[in-house]
Structure 1
Amino acid sequence: MDTAEIRRRFTAHFAAGGSVGAHTVVPSASLLLDDPNLLFVNAGMVPFKPFFLGQETPSFQRATSIQKCVRTPDIEDVGKTTRHGTFFEMCGNFSFGDYFKEGAITLAWELLTKSEADGGLGLDESRLYPSVLAGDDEAVELWMKATGLPRHRIVGLGKKENYWSMGIPGPGGPCSEILYDRGPEFGPDFDPSTLGPDMPFELEDRLLEIWNLVFMQDELSAVRSKEDFDIAGQLPQRNIDTGMGLERVAFLKQGKNNMYEIDVMFPVIQRAEELTGRKYGADQLDDVRFRVVADHVRSSMMLIGDGVTPGNDGRGYVLRRLLRRAVRSMRLLGFEDRALPELMPVSRDKMGVTYDNLVTDWERIARIAFAEEDAFRKTLQAGTQIFDLAALDVKKSGGSTLAGDQAFQLHDTYGFPIDLTLEMASEAGLKVDEDGFRSLMSEQRARAKADAKAKKGQHADTHAFRAVLDSHGPTEWLAYETLETESSALALVQDGENVNVLTQGQVGELVLDRTPFYAESGGQAADAGRIEFDGGVLEVLDVQRPVRGLVSHQVRVLEGELPADAPNLRALVDPEWRIGARQAHSGTHVIHAALREVLGPTALQAGSYNRPGYLRLDFGWSSALSPAQLADIENVSNEALRADLAVTAQYMTLADAKDWGAIALFGETYDDTKVRTIEIGGPWSRELCGGTHVSHSSQIGTIAVTGEASVGSGNRRIEAFTGIEGFKYLARERDMVDELTGLLKTQPGDLVGRVADLMERLKHTEKELAKLHVAQLLAGAGEIAANAVDVNGVAVVAQRLDGVSGGDVRTLATDVRARLAAGRPGVVVLLGVDGDKIAALAATNDEARALGLSANDLLRAVAPHIGGKGGGKADMAQGGGTDVSGVDAALAAVATDVARVVGA
């Protein structure tokens, strides 16, 4: 049974619903959701969290979905076990205050055991073992009732396995896992009645968890660990959250040993076999590498498809790591050419059957992935050079182990995988301090976990706002209709807690029953303005949505004293601010459309920010834009303004909006039943957007592009001024041109030629001065050589040169060495001091090297005194330093080192 058929049967089963009723089929959400606790959606329930947390009320009581997920904490274990993969699909069914334990158990068992002919998955029920939380006798009885299984077939496990929470205060509950016995070839025999509280390690492959049913019934007040938490009471309503692993069921139904061999993944391994000439199944270590390739190629493609681009932190770093591990694994398999162009299309053809954006957006996905591989290939070359130098240092010092901090630097700074460092060290006859490396990695992970834990606290601060939403309902939000409302205060909040009053000078959060203020979202900054009340005035500093449906105003009390229940407030948006914000946001849409017109349809927005008079737009593109392209984008934009295109807003379903051609931005969450679309000039610009806009493009005034730059691999950023700020920017440039034409006594049209002529003359003059400077230095070379001192028969020149920089030091040292007496051993060490920088150069002649003297060793003797480093060969070495106070000691060390080498 192929993966697509399992997916279809799961959805059909819950859409029918059996005895509990039909479930609403909810499409998979993006892998990127606006959640401070998560880089990616990592479970099927994540898109439903607002319902479970009570932040929103669902429009359905029962739902089913097959959700895209990515988990990366155990990325190093990918390919080594059947349980670890990065991208996976979670089939789930959910109940929001509707059916509970019995319904969830019955539905799951029916689907798993019903014959294939009847639309089920046809699993052998003699191989299925339900598990419950030890002590949950109700669940045991319900399993026996629904399945007819004897008591000893139901496994009791501890909280680690069978209690679910989000890791923070909030909902939780006991679980029932459904385990599938894969047979004696995957583990020892067992007695299910004796298992618990933890699943024995040796049975984790044999008793494979394929489905987890969460009975969400508890309100947790504290969560110290997965097994240590406090239950404050029962939830107002009991919910069901389940997850069946699509890949796990697929490899069972397809008779495979693991997820990497199923129909949507194994073709990548087959293509890798063809490219490398190696066979899957022939070598255990190679098999792990093949599996890493299959998993990471698919995961990377899915992440790019949902809008992630490679970077050095957050989501971008995870993607970069996945891509580079895939490329690295192919290299370890013996394939050193570009791998992703060969492998990723295979994964696209399999996954694109379900996710058509992989096909329609392929050009962009491929461009980003292939560019990252090309960059990594260059990194490998640079990292190899760095490794070679580090290995040389270890050998010269008589050591045999590369330090852990050096391996960590290669990994963390240069993206050099540790397994590559280990391989190269072995080839060089060295070991690597793996313990030191892993200690530093652990410290890095601990910092990341501490940061993530700190971010989790953001959910805890919303309880005051949730209480307002529960008691008063959503804010009446009127930002599209008006700039002024008569409102009443519903709550005052400081540091996450309700307060009764704000006094003059204090800052707090004010929730109103109705507001005209735009809350920051979709890249648009919040409105500015003021709120007046009887006896006082508030300055609005920020406007946010702490929970969906509620608008909160961060305010500072300018006058008076504001009580928490103040009536008759007058909320006033600054009209000039709003005009500027509308111009900037509409300008962002115009530039986005202009980008696609000039660069092509794959130049899609990846992020934006706009405030009155200013906009920036990030878009996927792998190379810098030329001046001509920037000029074209600006011209197309301003032609759209001159055309006075109508700007209209419409509401429609998400499906209709996409069919209509509206662009949905990566990482944004949209309502399936109703979305707002902004159209500028018909199909020229259609986007899903909740921002404020002008009514005609001419009202933007002008768009003045100020430049573009890289914001990470595969991402560029374009910036521009709009409206009055755009005109001011152009006026400043005009004034600058006027000033320059005055200084250079030329006309504006001749300005560029005049400046180019001056630059050419300046370059010529600098070259002539450089020649004179070198001639002057060389004129003194004879005197420097004549001042050489004899150290045990070696002519030694060690001198400080003030005001001389690196290139000149090298030129002078070469000339001084040539002027030393022929046939006599000689060494030259010159330290050029230019401000607080020191350029150091050491040189030896043939006779000195015959005595064992090396320029590289001389430089090593000098460098510690000047706080520097450097290296080179036996005849010449160069470096630098920053400690000018150590120059004299450094020069004295030259004679000492020469005497040590040549002896008396």
Structure 2
Amino acid sequence: METAEIRRRWLSFFERKGHSVVPSAPLIYDDPNLLFVNAGMVPFKPYFLGQQTPPWDRATSVQKCVRTGDIEEVGKTSRHGTFFQMNGNFSFGDYFKKEAIELAWELLTTSQDEGGYGLDPDRIWATVYEDDDEAAQLWEKYTGVPPERIVRRGKADNYWHMGVAGPGGPCSEIFYDRGPEYGRDGGPEVDEDRFMEIWNLVFMQYDLSEVRTKVDFDVSGPLPKQNIDTGMGLERIASILQGVDNMYEIDEVYPVLERAAELTGKKYGANSAHDAEHSHPDDVRLRVVADHVRSSLMLIGDGVTPGNEGRGYVLRRMLRRAVRSMRLLGFDEPSLPLLLPVSMERMSQSYPELRTGFDRISQIAYAEEEAFRRTLASGTTILDNAVTRTKQSGGTTLAGDQAFALHDTYGFPIDLTLEMAAEQGLEVDREGFTRLMQEQRDRAKADAKAKKGGHANTEVWKDLRALGATDWQAYSELTTESKVVGLVVDGQRVEELEPGQRGQVVLDRTPFYAESGGQIADEGIITGDGVHLKVVDVQRPVKGLVVHTVEAVTGPVRTGLEVSAEVDPEWRISACQAHSGTHVVHAALRQVLGPSALQSGSYNKPGYLRLDFAWNQALSQATRSEIEEVANLAVRQDLPVSAQYMTLPQARDFGALALFGETYDEQVRVIEIGGPWSRELCGGTHVGHSSQIGALTVTGESSVGSGVRRLEAFVGMDALRYLATERALVAELTDIVKVQPGELKERVSQLVTRLRDAEREIERMHREQVQAQTGKLVEYARDVDGVRVLTHDAGDGASADDLRTMALDLRGRLGDANPSVVALTAVGNGRPVVVVATNGPARDRGIKAGALVRSAAQALGGGGGGKDDLAQGGGTDPSQTGAALGAVDAAVRAATAG
């Protein structure tokens, strides 16, 4: 049974059982604790936490998930993968343990001809929490599973909570016996490879007041409503129903692995034990490729782009691990164009949007591979230099910090460093590298923990939300008469806010726009009897609750006070112009560049917008001008701007574009500008007609990552001010060079050409002076213990290149009849430089340029190095050039005396 069919049967079964089918949320989810959705219940957290009222009593979904905590283990075992899909069925105060167990049993054991999965009932085991007698009895009574196949386990295995205070409860896991060829008999307590966990039923029935660890927590009492949260790993059940060993061999993953094996000439499984834990390195690499290609496809599909931090870094790491693994398998050509389409063909059966968006997805992925191939080329050069320095110093081990710098700064993989260092006869200080990596991980964990701790204390917002949702009037009003329902300072509720204090105010009604969708929050004031508050930020810490961060100018303000909330009208008008301008620029981009130029992020504030979009090359000036012209034509046409509400599926059918990374409710708001010309899902504020945007001028275009470009623009009065500034600049330049504006470009071009010609002539004359000076300097060479030493301070102006040229010329003029040393100093741009050259006879006597230049550079307050015949150094103190040359003399005497 194909994975897509397993997925379809799941949704169909629970829909027949009265569950609402909820589409998978994007992998990027609005939760500061998570980089990605990592469990099937994540989109339902607000309902389980009581922050929102669920729109259904029972629901089902197949949720896309990514977990990256064990990314280094991917491929090494059959259990570790990054992307996976979680089948789930959920009850919000509707059914509980009995029905959850019955539903699971029915779907698992019903024959495939009748729409079930057709598993053998005699091979199904269940575990329950050690004190949950009720669950054990229900399993035995309603499924017929005998007591010997119902195993009781402790909190570590069979108790669920979120890791913070909130709902929790015992759970019951379902295991399937894959047969004696997979391990020992005796149930999941004996062997969880043979007895594979396929489904977990969480009985959410208690309110936990404090959670210290997985097994150490306090239960304050029962929840008002008992909930069900279940999760079945789609890949795990697919491996069972398809009769394969592990998730890497199912129909959605194996075709990529098979294609990678074909390209590299490897035979998967040929040299491995049956157990994936004892796999041949080639098999591990093939599994890494298969997993990471699929995960990258899904992440880019949901709007993630490669970057150097956060989600972008995770994606970049997976793409590069896949490319690196292909290289280690012996394939040096670009591999993603040969692998990504294979994954798309399989995954688009369940996610058809991958096919329609593949131009954008592939453009981003292929650009990242090309960038990494360049990194490999440059990293190889850096590694070669590090190896050379290590060998010159007599070492046999490449330092851990050098390996870490290659990995962390240049993206050069450690196993590639190990391989290439070994080829040149060096080991790598793995212990030092591992220590630095662990320090980096510890810092990241500390940051994540700090973020989680800050976010986890949501009790104050939950309590305020329980008083009622904020009546949000931002789309229709700039002023509302409101009442203060809550005050918060430093995360704690207070009764009043004093003048000079900064805190958060919750009103029963507000006209303020809360930051979201790339649009920053409104500014304005809240006033009342003796109270004046400046609003500096507006957020939604929990859904339905709008929170104003304020600075109290006068007061105090107390809970219950009647106030007037007033948005700065100029701020709002400019913000509307910028947000509508973002939509117009996006539509213009797609008209000029084509439909694959999809927005991947945006930011707008009064008078300014920026828009990130999928594209893998810089835009020419002509293209930028065309986009700007199309956008301004749309402004001039006074296109109507309208908003309408519909379900998310209706919006997709309607052709509305969704912003990547945004999370949408089932009911969404669609903004149209000129009908189908611009049709996007959006919760921002907008103008009524496009002409109200005013002038729009594109000010910049740049790269923000592989396959992603950024456009910046001013709108409205800010655009006019920008153009006025440019006009004034042009006027000043025309006055300076005495030409008309139309002649300015040609005149500046002429001046630049003349300047370059003059610089070349000055350089030529300087070179001639150096050469003339060189001929006279030879006669100043003096004998130092049988070595001819020539030292000279070239003064200000000579560059390091000039000094090297002079040193080599002088060394040649001195010849090889006697040992000779040339040492030159100069000061360029306020910093001293020293160059030392030695001939063959001098080096035979142990006089080496590198050692001499280090002595000289030390006198200059710096350092240096190089080869035995030519070396260069520098420092910070230009007054010590004489001392530096004296240090060379002293070093020569010391070398000859030794």
Does the TM-score normalized on the shorter chain lie above 0.5?
yes
1:488 match: secondary structure: strand
- Whole-Å separation in 1 of the counterparts to 2:442 and 2:384: 31
The 10-residue stretch of structure 1 (314-323 or 224-233) with the greater mean CA deviation from structure 2: 224-233
1:210 match: secondary structure: strand
- Whole-Å separation in 2 of the counterparts to 1:344 and 1:147: 44
Q: Which residue of the partner structure matches residue 596 of structure 2?
A: 602
Q: Which residue of the partner structure matches residue 717 of structure 1?
A: 710
Question: Aligned to 1:626, which of 620, 623, 633?
Answer: 620
The 10-residue stretch of structure 1 (292-301 or 452-461) with the greater mean CA deviation from structure 2: 452-461
Structure 1: which amino acid aligns with 2:755?
A: L
8 A Cα contact 1:3 1:263, kept in partner: yes
Question: Aligned to 1:837, which of 831, 834, 853?
Answer: 831
Report 1:288-437 matches (<5 A). 288-437=284-433
Q: Which residue of the partner structure matches residue 446 of structure 1?
A: 442
8 A Cα contact 1:843 1:875, kept in partner: yes
TM-score, normalising length from structure 1?
A: 0.95
Q: Which residue of the partner structure matches residue 527 of structure 1?
A: 522
Report 1:547-626 matches (<5 A). 547-567=542-562, 569-626=563-620
Q: Which residue of the partner structure matches residue 755 of structure 1?
A: 748
**What is the Cα deviation at residue 180 of structure 1?**
2.2
The 10-residue stretch of structure 1 (330-339 or 431-440) with the greater mean CA deviation from structure 2: 431-440
- Whole-Å separation in 2 of the counterparts to 1:662 and 1:825: 81
Cα distance change, pair 253–741 in 1 and its aligned pair in 2 (3 A):
same
The 10-residue stretch of structure 1 (796-805 or 378-387) with the greater mean CA deviation from structure 2: 796-805
Cα distance change, pair 317–524 in 1 and its aligned pair in 2 (3 A):
same
The 10-residue stretch of structure 1 (382-391 or 142-151) with the greater mean CA deviation from structure 2: 142-151
Within the alignment, does 1:477 sit opposite 2:465 as a pair?
A: no
- Whole-Å separation in 2 of the counterparts to 1:408 and 1:290: 25
Report 1:66-145 matches (<5 A). 66-145=62-141
Within the alignment, does 1:540 sit opposite 2:535 as a pair?
A: yes
Within the alignment, does 1:275 sit opposite 2:269 as a pair?
A: no
Cα distance change, pair 401–821 in 1 and its aligned pair in 2 (3 A):
closer
**What is the Cα deviation at residue 818 of structure 1?**
2.3
Q: Which residue of the partner structure matches residue 452 of structure 2?
A: 456
The 10-residue stretch of structure 1 (854-863 or 545-554) with the greater mean CA deviation from structure 2: 854-863
- Whole-Å separation in 2 of the counterparts to 1:178 and 1:805: 75
1:711 match: secondary structure: strand
Cα distance change, pair 121–792 in 1 and its aligned pair in 2 (3 A):
farther
**What is the Cα deviation at residue 730 of structure 1?**
0.8
8 A Cα contact 2:816 2:841, kept in partner: no
The 10-residue stretch of structure 1 (169-178 or 835-844) with the greater mean CA deviation from structure 2: 835-844
Task: Render the CA deviation track for 1:139-179: whole Å, top value 9, x for unaligned.
Answer: 22222223222322222223222222222222222222212
Report 1:690-769 matches (<5 A). 690-769=683-762
**What is the Cα deviation at residue 900 of structure 1?**
6.5
Structure 2: which amino acid aligns with 1:210?
A: I
**What is the Cα deviation at residue 415 of structure 1?**
0.6
Structure 1: which amino acid aligns with 2:781?
A: A
Q: Which residue of the partner structure matches residue 244 of structure 2?
A: 256
**What is the Cα deviation at residue 234 of structure 1?**
2.5
Question: Aligned to 1:236, which of 224, 249, 252?
Answer: 224
Q: Which residue of the partner structure matches residue 10 of structure 2?
A: 10
8 A Cα contact 2:170 2:202, kept in partner: yes
Identity %: 62
**What is the Cα deviation at residue 254 of structure 1?**
1.2
**What is the Cα deviation at residue 216 of structure 1?**
1.5
Structure 2: which amino acid aligns with 1:8?
A: R
- Whole-Å separation in 2 of the counterparts to 1:152 and 1:889: 89
8 A Cα contact 2:827 2:878, kept in partner: yes
Q: Which residue of the partner structure matches residue 490 of structure 2?
A: 495
Task: Render the CA deviation track for 1:729-781: whole Å, top value 9, x for unaligned.
Answer: 11111111111111111100011111111111111111222222222333332
Question: Aligned to 2:805, which of 811, 814, 825?
Answer: 811
Cα distance change, pair 849–61 in 1 and its aligned pair in 2 (3 A):
same
Cα distance change, pair 392–138 in 1 and its aligned pair in 2 (3 A):
same
- Whole-Å separation in 2 of the counterparts to 1:303 and 1:280: 26
Corresponding pairs, count: 889
Structure 1: which amino acid aligns with 2:194?
A: R
Question: Aligned to 2:677, which of 657, 675, 684?
Answer: 684
Structure 2: which amino acid aligns with 1:248?
A: R
Task: Render the CA deviation track for 1:52-110: whole Å, top value 9, x for unaligned.
Answer: 11111111011111011111110111111111000111111111111122222221122
Structure 2: which amino acid aligns with 1:428?
A: Q
The 10-residue stretch of structure 1 (233-242 or 305-314) with the greater mean CA deviation from structure 2: 233-242
**What is the Cα deviation at residue 291 of structure 1?**
0.5
Structure 2: which amino acid aligns with 1:522?
A: G
Structure 2: which amino acid aligns with 1:277?
A: G
**Consecutive unaligned residues in structure 1, runs of 5 or more:** none
Q: Which residue of the partner structure matches residue 643 of structure 2?
A: 649
8 A Cα contact 1:867 1:882, kept in partner: yes
- Whole-Å separation in 1 of the counterparts to 2:897 and 2:196: 73
- Whole-Å separation in 2 of the counterparts to 1:712 and 1:732: 30
8 A Cα contact 1:463 1:496, kept in partner: no
Q: Which residue of the partner structure matches residue 276 of structure 2?
A: none
Task: Render the CA deviation track for 1:522-566: whole Å, top value 9, x for unaligned.
Answer: 111111111221222222111111211111112222223211111
- Whole-Å separation in 2 of the counterparts to 1:354 and 1:309: 22
- Whole-Å separation in 2 of the counterparts to 1:132 and 1:664: 42
**What is the Cα deviation at residue 492 of structure 1?**
1.2
**What is the Cα deviation at residue 328 of structure 1?**
0.7
Cα distance change, pair 625–871 in 1 and its aligned pair in 2 (3 A):
farther
CA RMSD in angstroms, aligned pairs only? 2.1
2:244 match: secondary structure: coil
1:719 match: secondary structure: strand
2:705 match: secondary structure: coil
The 10-residue stretch of structure 1 (831-840 or 270-279) with the greater mean CA deviation from structure 2: 831-840
Report 1:191-210 matches (<5 A). 195=189, 203-210=191-198
Q: Which residue of the partner structure matches residue 499 of structure 2?
A: 504
**Consecutive unaligned residues in structure 2, runs of 5 or more:** 272-279
Q: Which residue of the partner structure matches residue 664 of structure 2?
A: 670
Cα distance change, pair 155–645 in 1 and its aligned pair in 2 (3 A):
same
8 A Cα contact 2:826 2:881, kept in partner: no
TM-score, normalising length from structure 2?
A: 0.95
Cα distance change, pair 808–91 in 1 and its aligned pair in 2 (3 A):
same
Question: Aligned to 2:511, which of 516, 537, 557?
Answer: 516
Cα distance change, pair 873–282 in 1 and its aligned pair in 2 (3 A):
farther
Q: Which residue of the partner structure matches residue 235 of structure 2?
A: 247
Task: Render the CA deviation track for 1:205-254: whole Å, top value 9, x for unaligned.
Answer: 22322111111222223323222223233322221111111111111111
- Whole-Å separation in 2 of the counterparts to 1:123 and 1:481: 57
8 A Cα contact 1:41 1:68, kept in partner: yes
- Whole-Å separation in 2 of the counterparts to 1:184 and 1:425: 44
**What is the Cα deviation at residue 268 of structure 1?**
0.9
- Whole-Å separation in 1 of the counterparts to 2:852 and 2:360: 53
Cα distance change, pair 692–861 in 1 and its aligned pair in 2 (3 A):
same
- Whole-Å separation in 1 of the counterparts to 2:234 and 2:676: 39
- Whole-Å separation in 2 of the counterparts to 1:889 and 1:11: 83
Cα distance change, pair 7–826 in 1 and its aligned pair in 2 (3 A):
same
**What is the Cα deviation at residue 336 of structure 1?**
0.5
8 A Cα contact 1:82 1:205, kept in partner: no
- Whole-Å separation in 1 of the counterparts to 2:790 and 2:223: 84
Within the alignment, does 1:61 sit opposite 2:67 as a pair?
A: no
Cα distance change, pair 40–868 in 1 and its aligned pair in 2 (3 A):
farther
